């Protein structure tokens, strides 16, 4: 079994921290529903500011559309209001299930509104058994992913589901950094 990403909120900003609340992370139900994150589900949180990594569970609280992201309990010590974080859920799957999995990713603006709706897709290509691409839902012109400068994409013809297929290719410099 492989542990893989199932859903992700990328570049969400912390809107509050409550050390005296029982541990968890409070998120906007609209963000969670769209990404596929359930209440009480465990998530991993990665701070882009401090490098802190933690695990906690999700609670929904307040009005949908509030754009809240509040770290509670011990997690409140890891980030400050305004910090940019990544929240990811995971699943355990068999290797062959990678072809049917399509994790949803929301990229957020500094005000926590949704900037992009993406999904990840694994497929078999002519050059390798497991290849990777990013699907952008609600097509916009992209030649370079804004969150990952070393990762480039080749634009393909629009899909029937009104999305643009962006094929993932690591540049030679990105490959050398990984080795």
Q: Tell me which residue has tokens 């968890």.
A: 24
My answer on whether 83 and 24 are in the same domain is yes
My answer on whether 130 and 172 are in the same domain is yes
My answer on whether 37 and 82 are in the same domain is yes
Q: Is 24 one of the annotated active-site residues of the chain?
A: yes
Counted domains in the chain: 2
Q: Is 91 one of the annotated active-site residues of the chain?
A: no
- CA distances in angstroms from 173 to 96, 144, 153, listed in the order given: 30, 15, 15
148 versus 28: the higher-pLDDT residue is 28
Which segment of 57-71, 114-128, 141-155 scores lowest on mean pLDDT?
141-155
**Residues of the domain holding 105:** 98-178
Cβ–Cβ < 8 Å for 27, 58: yes
Find the length of the chain.
179
**CATH number reported for the structural domain that contains residue 75 in this entry:** 2.40.40.20
DSSP string, 17-75: EETTSPSEEEE-HHHHHHHT--TT-EEEEEETTT--EEEEEEEE-S-TT---EEEEGGG
My answer on whether 85 and 7 are in the same domain is yes
pTM: 0.78
My answer on whether 103 and 126 are in the same domain is yes
My answer on whether 58 and 103 are in the same domain is no
Paired tokens of 115:
């900037």
Select which of 21, 38, 47, 57 is catalytic. 57
* pLDDT band at 22; cut points 50, 70, 90: confident
My answer on whether 74 and 116 are in the same domain is no
My answer on whether 34 and 81 are in the same domain is yes
Give the separation between CA 105 and CA 5, rounded to whole angstroms.
10
My answer on whether 10 and 84 are in the same domain is yes
3 versus 171: the higher-pLDDT residue is 3
**Could you say which of 91, 125, 147 is where a domain stops?**
91
What is the number of H-type helices and E-type strands within the chain? 2, 12
My answer on whether 6 and 84 are in the same domain is yes
Which segment of 54-58, 128-132, 151-155 scores lowest on mean pLDDT?
151-155
**Could you say which of 67, 91, 115 is where a domain stops?**
91
Is residue 166 over pLDDT 90? no
What digits encode the pLDDT tens for the residues 29-45? 999 999 999 999 999 99
């Amino acid at each position: 079994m492989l542990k893989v990403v199932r859903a992700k909120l990328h570049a969400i900003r912390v809107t509050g921290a409550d050390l005296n609340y029982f541990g968890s992370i409070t998120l906007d139900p609209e963000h969670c529903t769209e990404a596929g994150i359930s209440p009480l589900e465990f998530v991993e949180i990665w701070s882009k500011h401090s490098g802190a990594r933690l695990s906690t569970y999700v609670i929904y609280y307040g009005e949908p559309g509030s754009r809240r992201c509040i770290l509670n309990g011990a997690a409140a010590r890891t980030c400050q209001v305004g910090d940019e974080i990544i929240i990811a859920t995971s699943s355990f799957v068999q290797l062959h299930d990678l072809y049917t999995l399509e994790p949803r990713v929301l990229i957020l603006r500094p005000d926590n509104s949704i900037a992009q709706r993406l999904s990840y897709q694994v497929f078999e290509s002519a050059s390798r058994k497991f290849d990777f691409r990013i699907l952008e839902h609600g097509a916009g012109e992209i030649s370079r992913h804004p969150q990952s400068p070393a990762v480039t994409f080749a634009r393909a013809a629009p899909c029937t589901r009104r999305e643009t297929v962006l094929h993932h290719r690591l540049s030679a410099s990105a490959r050398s950094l990984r080795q």
